[in-house]
Amino acid sequence: MIDTHMHADSRSSEDFEKMYLAGIDTAITCSFYPYKIENETILLNHLNRILEYDTKRASEYGLDLKVALGIHPANTIENPETIYENLYSWIENNQIVAIGEIGLEDLTEREIAIFKQQLDIADETKSKVIIHTPRKNKKEVLKEIINIIPQHLDEKQAVIDHINPNVIDEAIKTDCMLGLTVQPQKMEAEDAISILDEYGFERFLLNSDISNKPSDPLSVPKTVRQLERLNYSKEDIEKVSHKNAEKYFKI
């Protein structure tokens, strides 16, 4: 199994072991710093910590941790150029599988400008992007995201994450891959399964989004096991458990 969106830097080593023992072989950890960032140096240190330290921590417990790096909308900074320069380097050296997570939260001018620039970098470098959608005002923010993406990037290079039943009707109209986050206070496994049941398994990725907020490191295997108990086909289950992610991120 592959958990396609987590935040390893805010989780314990014991979580990595639990995930591995439950059948998760690979996970993608994304950038998000839960505290106020004063400058680009602090953010760069955070991103390098994920790349150089958390991957090693996870590997000690059997978990193959892939990395997505970028400027999260909650971490917008005044001078992002240093981060952009490093993104080019990480991409060139095949150190990251996507730019992420990026996106919008409060629809500020700075957020939108940084989001657009990172989409442009993805377009230039033919990279994938993992796009955050917020808990609050999700419909309004998603509408803006859906409007911006095709102006800067082929939609097929983007994952729109944290999709739920309230916004699936709009998200499914795009050509983006869609992330289903099974997480306390965000979406239950039953809701994710209802989306898969209605829209099929081809364009969806499963993840836990475990972070500093209420989380379940085993939400992906729990959802997969529930699909098995409900007698969905092995082929469909394999798509959302790992095959879609393997093909999309080339991992």
Pairing outcome for strands 26-29 and 2-6: parallel
Q: What is the pLDDT of residue 34?
A: 83
Tell me the pLDDT of the chain averaged across its residues: 96
| CATH 3.20.20.140 for domain 2-249 | yes
Q: What is the pLDDT of residue 36?
A: 80
pLDDT tens digits, 25-52:
999 999 998 888 878 999 999 999 999 9
Sign of the CA dihedral running 143, 148, 151, 155: negative
Kindly list the domain boundaries of the chain, sorted by start residue.
Answer: 2-249
pLDDT tens digits, 180-230:
999 988 899 999 999 999 999 999 999 999 998 899 999 999 999 999 999
| Cα 159 to Cα 74: distance, rounded to the nearest angstrom | 18
For the full predicted model, state whether its pTM sits above 0.95.
yes
